[in-house]
Amino acid sequence: MFKIIEFFKEQWHHRHLIWKLSIYNIKSQYANHYLGAFWNILQPLLQVAIYYLVFGLGLRGDRADVEGLPFIVYLISGLFPWLFIQQGINSASNAIQGQLSLVTKMKFPASVLLSTSILNALFNLLLVTSIVVGISLWNGYSEPIHYLGLLYFIFASCALIFGISLIMSSLVIIIRDMKNILQNIIRMFFFMTPIFWSLTEANEILQTMASLNPFAYLLMNYRNAMVFDAAPLYGGMSDHLYFWTLTVILIYIGVHIHYRFKNKLVDYL
């Protein structure tokens, strides 16, 4: 427990550095592109268009509505938070490896790189969420007070991403195959998570898998906050306990792995 407290104290102590690095990364990412930061919105919209053509117009046919929502609204309310989670895990898990020379040659807190990557992903989430808010307000899908559930989604998502990336950021350096394994696991969870399919329409096997899937819990909380006219939070007490128990365990394991190997990672190159 002491190491967990030390880890989060380290993030708070370097909060200004994290902010400055995030702003720098955002400015430099598309510095030589004509459209610049607009790509942060354009890329998710292009993915929405592709999935809508395939899963909306192609596979669903005449079944336009999902749980009382147009399929396109249901799709973006699942795909946008998923892209945030996916980007956060991928970028944070590879953050230390990508800046390993900086970490090993300077007195630089490696964990700051994870926070910077997650913060960059959060900026992108807030941009595309503004689209969801506009659609929701225009059509009256959700009570404005429910939008406060977005704060819970962000907090819970960042906690889970931290837990996973703390483990993977060391393992991708120690075991080179872990990067490919991580990519395949994320791809598998993409189809196991109710992004473009409905929990109420799924068979019992998918519903059981979704109940054990922490990403499904997060996405449904996002939908409850943004487009569903239901309680601000998704699930019952057992769902909350399961998610947070799993998340705390991942953070506990991740922090111990991070501090055990953070000064030895250069030896595995």
pLDDT in tens, 59-101: 555 456 777 788 888 889 999 999 999 999 999 888 877 776 6
Domain count within the chain: 1
Q: What whole-number percentage of the chain has pLDDT above 70?
A: 86
Q: How confident is the model at residue 3 (pLDDT cuts 50, 70, 90)?
A: confident
Q: Residue 135: CB partners within 8 Å, gap ≥ 6?
A: 73, 76, 141, 227
Half-sphere exposure of 179 (CA within 13 A, CB side): 11
CB 162, CB 118: distance < 8 Å:
yes
Could you read off the pLDDT of 158-212 as tens digits, one per residue?
Answer: 999 999 999 998 888 888 788 889 999 999 999 889 888 888 777 888 888 888 9
Identify which of 123, 125, 117, 38 has the alpha carbon closest to the alpha carbon of residue 76: 125
Q: What angle do CA 36, 26, 37 make, to 5 degrees?
A: 20
| Rounded Cα gap, residues 230 and 237, in angstroms | 16
* pLDDT score, position 245: 96
Q: Residue 83: CB partners within 8 Å, gap ≥ 6?
A: 44, 47, 124, 125, 128
pTM over 0.85: yes
Domain that residue 59 falls in: 2-268
* pLDDT score, position 228: 85
The rounded mean pLDDT for the chain is 83
Q: How confident is the model at residue 137 (pLDDT cuts 50, 70, 90)?
A: confident
Residue that is written with structure tokens 């503004």 in the block: 130
CB 196, CB 120: distance < 8 Å:
no
Position 52 pLDDT exceeds 80 = yes
